[in-house]
Chain A
Amino acid sequence: MSEQNQNGRRVGEVILDLQNISLRFGGVKALTDISFNVKEHEIRAIIGPNGAGKSSMLNVINGVYHPQEGRIVFHGEERKKMEPHMAATQGIARTFQNIALFKGMSVLDNIMTGRITKMKCGFLEQALYLGRAQKEELAHREKVEEVIDFLEIQHIRKTPVGRLPYGLQKRVELGRALAAEPSLLLLDEPMAGMNVEEKQDMCRFILDVNDQFGTTIVLIEHDMGVVMDISDRVVVLDYGKKIGDGTPDDVRNNQEVISAYLGVAH
């Protein structure tokens, strides 16, 4: 049932449906009555000015925040109260706006950690490191090496992440998310603070992930050029409300969006 969209991507059924989501922190309304959906294989962007509620939206999707109102349907099932680690086992991975790597660990270990939900051996087996535990560790190491090759970071595998420059840290964080082989990947400003070259690399990786692994991607980004280039559909938030939703062209021409966001330099 997949159709080709204007970017030549095979976009499938709706896999994530958010209905009337409202989220408050005490008196602060972070999100008010927001509905939108995400279709399989698409790249869905969320844009909006600072404080619009974009990161909160991602946090709702992967169970870090629990909205007071609204329904979330993922893969056809309505979600009950869910903790982040359950979202992870359901195939949702993400990166953070402020890099959230494990500072004391090497690149390799950070990315290995991304596969934790897939590792089944108990601590006793691991303490003995015989048979199954060893096999498991090696099998996952191979998967992780694929991710490392894909992101072209072979040369820094053993480096503690704290010593890496910002751009590479962002890439390692993407690697950690990819290692989980997610069906839905949430990226919170993956290109923020990067130079042009690093941004191009990151764009390429995102498109390749989408293309080669068929991963559905929800992406927050401030760089309008990037958003218009790579996304299939865009949601626009402002002060916690949805003010636009559609293809990049629709959004670009939406008067409310122009006045709230595109027209305002920041």
Chain B
Amino acid sequence: MLYREAGQFKTSYAADQQIFPIRQDRIAIGLILVVAALVVPMVASEYWIKAILIPFLIFSLAALGLNILTGYAGQLSLGSAAFMAVGAFAAYNFMGRIEGMPVLLAFVGGGLSAAAVGILFGLPSLRIKGFYLAVATLAAQFFIVWALTKFGWFSMDSSSGVITAQEIQILGYRFDTPISLYLLVLTIVAVMALAAKNMVRSSVGRAWMAVRDMDVAAEVIGIRIMHTKLLAFAISSFYCGVAGALYAYAYLGTVEPEGFNLDLSFKILFMIIIGGVGSIMGSFLGAAFIVLLPIFLDVLIQDFLTGLLPPSISSNLQLMVFGGLIIFFLIVEPHGLARLWQIGKEKLRLWPFPH
């Protein structure tokens, strides 16, 4: 079946306003979900599920969160990992301090806590932009990790702030196998991605993009800038917070505040730069890319380049490739993989008659 709009005449605005207006896109998303939910658990090895797919989904969610803030609302942030930390530690506290706390509610609580902190650290965005705002979020990054390490209360007085996630039980079912955890994460991420897609194509999303593209005009049209920016910080941090809770509960099991350091924030930023700034799909592409690249490079070095490269280079190859790619995307294709994909699709739509 060709990727084609021809013959799909939209006879109503409702049809044109669907979440995925082109039929092939709807089918593709459906297929991906079916494969992810039914086929993957049957064929993927435990290593793939635990070490690749689960972190991929969690990073996608965090990248999605950052993309809402940076890609859609235009507010640069270097504090994504810190908001993840807030989500993880808040969920841990909800679980540990409240008897019988349902774990999903604890995740939501983690997200909401991160949202509250996000609003607080988003306040400077009302005054400053761009580089200076990035520095302000950097302060958030350092402050939050410091506070979580320094005050034992946040980790319920475990040594040096290390927390070990309680086990996950929902309606009596224990999520203790990699597959069950994977399916849980997949469900949460799919639902939240769908919600994000809906938001960015509604008036909230348009308000974010308006503020991003031209804030004076946005205000003149009737958009309340303060409200719009802070909402972006809140929702973005909510996504990062839930991602952080999943990071602790479904991926690592044991984390310390330092696990959510600036490196992780940068990693998430790189995901959206490579995947596509201002694109939901780009968040997933970028996360996949950054999760898979090191594995790919390891295989490459071990199987093909052993002995060819001096160890000083092969051990740093990952960083060098990363750096090169970031520069490539910033200069050549600022909209990332998602844009390359889009161009490919547009070509395909018209193929074989490009004019």
Same complex for A and B? Answer yes
Flag if B216 contacts A100 (CB, 8 Å).
Answer: yes
Known: A96-B217, A116-B222. A121 touches B203 (CB 8 A): yes
Which of A64, A85, A127 is in CB contact (< 8 Å) with B199? Answer: A127
Interface pair B19/A113, CB less than 8 Å apart: no
CA gap between A104 and B73 in the complex, in Å? 11
- Report Cα–Cα, A85/B223, bound state, in Å: 6
Give A64 to B214 CA distance when docked, in angstroms. Answer: 14
Query: Does B231 have its Cβ within 8 Å of any Cβ on chain A?
Result: yes
> Is residue A176 contacting chain B, with contact meaning CB distance below 8 A?
yes
Considering the chains assembled together, what is the distance between the CA atoms of A176 and B223 in angstroms?
13
How far is it, in angstroms, between the C-alpha of A142 and the C-alpha of B198 when the chains are bound?
19
Q: How many Å lie between the Cα of A180 and that of B220 in the bound state?
A: 11
Contact for A101 among B203, B204, B207, B214, CB less than 8 A: B214
**Does A103 have its Cβ within 8 Å of any Cβ on chain B?**
yes
How many angstroms between the C-alpha atoms of A103 and B209 in the bound complex? 9
Say which residue of B199, B220, B278 sits within 8 Å of A88 (CB atoms): B220
- Which stretch in A6-14, A133-141, A223-231 binds the other chain? A133-141
Q: Is A198 an interface residue (CB 8 A)?
A: no
Report the nearest A residue to B204, measured CB to CB. A123
**A86-125 Cβ-contact flags toward B at 8 Å (1 or 0):** 0111000110100011111100010011111101010100
Distance in angstroms between the alpha carbons of A100 and B210 in the assembled complex: 10
The smallest C-beta distance from B239 to any residue of chain A, in angstroms, reads 11
Docked Cα-Cα span, A67 to B117, in Å, equals: 37
Within 8 A of A (CB), among B1-41: 13-14, 16-17, 19
Within 8 A of B (CB), among A118-172: 119, 121, 123, 126-129, 133-134, 137-138, 141-142, 145
In the complex, A246 has a CB within 8 A of chain B: no
**Complex alpha-carbon distance, A9 and B145, angstroms:** 67
Q: Interface residues of A toward B: which range?
A: 35 or more
Q: What's the minimum C-beta distance from B335 to chain A, rounded to whole angstroms?
A: 9
Whether B222 and A180, one on each chain, are in contact in the complex, defined by CB atoms closer than 8 angstroms, is: yes
A138 close to B204 (CB less than 8 A): no
Is B349 in the interface zone, CB < 8 Å from A? Answer: no
Query: Cβ of A137: which chain B residues have Cβ within 8 Å of it?
Result: 17, 202-203
In the complex, the answer to whether B202 meets A103 with C-beta atoms within 8 Å is no
In the bound complex, CA of A105 to CA of B207 (Å): 11
Q: Chain B, interface size: which category?
A: 20 to 34
Task: Indicate which residue in A84, A105, A109 contacts B220 across the interface (CB closer than 8 Å).
Answer: A84
Across-interface contacts of A129 in B (CB, < 8 A): 19, 198, 202
Nearest-CB residue, chain B, relative to A119: B203
- Determine whether the beta carbon of A102 is less than 8 Å from that of B209: yes
Determine whether A256 belongs to the interface, using a CB cutoff of 8 Å to chain B.
no
Q: Is A216 an interface residue (CB 8 A)?
A: no
Question: Is the C-beta of B213 less than 8 angstroms from some C-beta in chain A?
Answer: yes
Query: In the complex the two chains form, what is the Cα distance from A180 to B218 in whole Å?
Result: 13
Q: Is A32 an interface residue, CB under 8 A from the partner?
A: no
Q: Does chain A have a CB within 8 A of B224?
A: yes
Question: Beyond A103-B213, A105-B213, is A128–B195 a contact (Cβ under 8 Å)?
Answer: yes
Cβ 8 A contact of A104, one of B207, B213, B217: B213
Q: Across the two chains, which residue of chain B brings its CB closest to A158?
A: B16
The answer to whether the Cβ of A249 comes within 8 Å of any Cβ in the partner chain is no
With A and B bound together, what is the CA distance between A9 and B80 in angstroms?
Answer: 58
| Interchain CB contact under 8 A, B203 and A114 | no
Cβ–Cβ contact B223 & A123, under 8 A = no
| Residue A62, interface by CB 8 Å | yes
- Contact B17–A103 (Cβ < 8 Å): no
**With A105-B213, A126-B204 as given contacts, are A94 and B19 in contact (CB-CB < 8 Å)?**
no
Contacting pair B17 A176 (CB below 8 A): no
How close is B213's CB to chain A, nearest CB, in angstroms? 4
Residues of chain A in range 52-103 having any CB-CB distance to chain B below 8 Å: 62, 64, 83-85, 87-89, 93-94, 96, 100-103
B219 at the interface (CB under 8 A from A): yes
By a CB distance below 8 angstroms, the chain B residues around A133 are 198, 202
Q: Is B221 among interface residues, defined by CB-CB distance under 8 A?
A: yes
Q: Is the CB of A112 within 8 A of B206?
A: yes
Q: How many Å lie between the Cα of A141 and that of B10 in the bound state?
A: 14
Chain B residues whose CB sits within 8 angstroms of the CB of A114 once the complex forms? 221
A100 CA / B196 CA spacing, docked (Å): 27
- Are B223 and A100 in touch, CB under 8 angstroms? no
Q: What are the 10 A-B residue pairs with the smallest beta carbon separation, nearest first?
A: A88-B222, A126-B202, A117-B222, A100-B217, A102-B213, A127-B195, A129-B198, A123-B204, A84-B219, A119-B203
9 residue pairs from A and B, CB less than 8 Å apart? A100-B216, A116-B207, A117-B222, A119-B203, A129-B198, A137-B17, A137-B203, A138-B14, A176-B221
Additional A-B contacts beyond A116-B206, A116-B221 (15; CB < 8 A):
A62-B220, A88-B222, A101-B214, A101-B217, A102-B209, A102-B210, A103-B214, A104-B209, A104-B213, A112-B203, A113-B210, A116-B223, A126-B203, A129-B202, A138-B13
